A and B are shown apart, each in its own frame.
Chain A
């Protein structure tokens, strides 16, 4: 398990992340905050998430494999322990809640579909994703 992501790391990447998110969603950067939820607050849809990740990869010269967040959150749990036919198990949900610590706890619903996990993402989720990718790249 790698070291926890620090506030300072998140803040270091935040301005460029916020800018990429704002551009992808045609928002005024002032409307984007660390806590903004991509789907509920900024009206993203699934293709926007692809676009945002692409912009972040280019902006930070990093690679973010698709499905990385789910895979990371699952960690050492087996797929069967983590999910049951596309539905998160209780253990899986707990892992996800830990991993997406920036997301308010009451946003996690029992028996969530894996497919719906992106609706939880906030701008901070994107920041953490970038920080992890930068660490992985040895930056």
Chain B
């Protein structure tokens, strides 16, 4: 008998709010988190808007506060969201259970803080060309072990396990925008196969900084609607012109189903299926037929033992780029059939694109959809693209039971993730 996995805790730090409750409320109210960038002066960039996390206070207390010096902005989001998830679940690693806890996170790409890079430029590249021979000379950069630790690609996962005392499996996943979804999928598999009984699983990212924003501006991937930030992210709308960068973190506590039941845990939903595929097409272009995402969705449904007809809600990848949106719609049509009326929305319309964090945050939203029976809207969908002919959630709907929800995440590089969640009362014990 295969082990089932319960979602018993959720923590969110998003552009819509620094808690699960605040983020969820904004989603239901259709409140946008997109605004002019405030964390640095973007006036030289073609894109001057983003979905920033606001008024954020790092969560750690007491002796753990000192660990924050090792935490970049996106890792601070991760620690805060993870802390919320663990408190929400009402279970935490203790010396007896520590080795049965896993921690898996879709981890943002390492990015050295702009100020650190500026130091290097001043000391080692006064005229722009890097001069390695100056490195160990007087006037070279001062070694900073804390900054070095902070800049490790696995600093996030290292701090998460340290802060919460997790001593079992640890994994950091990076597959661009699919990272968070794949990380949650891996956590599901860890519990199923017995490598862990509990998992802290999620994703975190922040690329709203001078280098991160530059890297997306250079690609021409972002919406330049600087004058209308709240309307800039328009997934599936004919007038869309690119995505909007977001930042934040989402974490969930996953538990083996029977154990969660025994301790009387509040179960948001069953994490029922993980589907994972490689598009094998191009680096950034998606296949017009939906090839790649189709396999991910089919595998996730099969893995969950769910029929497409049971699915009541899809949290689309829905980036608000023409290529993604059309390809994803073709994929949903292929999997669900031309007549399907399954409800679809992209929450990126309100919170922007959290990149490596997106898949985890959106899976958590899927769990909240099932738990509350409410669907977040796809904002700014005023002129539906005829080539995106799906049943989008365009306005608030009365609460109703959603048996199965799906969350899609597709990354640059062709990795696709699909997660399927099921209502606890349909989990069948």
Contacts and interface: CB of A to CB of B under 8 A. Distances in A.
A and B touch in the complex (CB under 8 A): yes
Interface of A: 45-47, 50, 66, 85-86, 113, 115
A85 B236 CA distance: 12
A50 B385 CA distance: 26
B406 interface: no
Contact of B322 (A47, A50, A66, A115): A115
B285 A50 contact: no
B301 to A, nearest CB: 30
A45 B285 contact: yes
Given A50-B220, A66-B220, A86-B238, A45 B383 contact: no
A85 B284 contact: no
Given A45-B282, A47-B219, A86-B322, 17 more contacts: A45-B283, A45-B284, A46-B282, A46-B284, A46-B285, A47-B282, A47-B284, A50-B218, A50-B219, A66-B220, A85-B238, A85-B383, A85-B385, A86-B238, A86-B239, A115-B322, A115-B323
25 contacts: A45-B282, A45-B283, A45-B284, A45-B285, A46-B282, A46-B284, A46-B285, A47-B219, A47-B282, A47-B283, A47-B284, A50-B218, A50-B219, A50-B220, A66-B220, A85-B238, A85-B239, A85-B383, A85-B385, A86-B238, A86-B239, A86-B322, A113-B322, A115-B322, A115-B323
Q: Chain B binding site: helix, strand, loop or mixed by DSSP?
A: loop
Interface in B354-385: 383, 385
Contacts of B284: 45-47
Nearest to A113: B322
A60 B284 CA distance: 27
B275 to A, nearest CB: 26
Contacts, number: 25
A85 B238 CA distance: 6
Interface residues of B, number: 13
B282 to A, nearest CB: 5
Nearest to B383: A85
B83 to A, nearest CB: 39
Contacts of A50: 218-220
Interface in B39-95: none
Nearest to A65: B46
Nearest to B237: A85
Contacts of B219: 47, 50
Interface string B230-253: 000000001100000000000000
Interface string B204-243: 0000000000000011100000000000000000110000
Interface centre among A47, A50, A115 (most CB of B within 10 A): A47
Nearest to B321: A115
A66 B219 CA distance: 10
Contacts of B218: 50
Nearest to A54: B218
Interface string B321-350: 011000000000000000000000000000
A38 to B, nearest CB: 14
A3 to B, nearest CB: 30
A45 B220 CA distance: 14
A47 to B, nearest CB: 6
A21 B254 CA distance: 51
A66 B220 CA distance: 8
Nearest to A67: B220
Nearest to B284: A47
A86 to B, nearest CB: 6
A136 to B, nearest CB: 19
Contacts of A113: 322
A55 B395 CA distance: 46
A66 B218 CA distance: 10
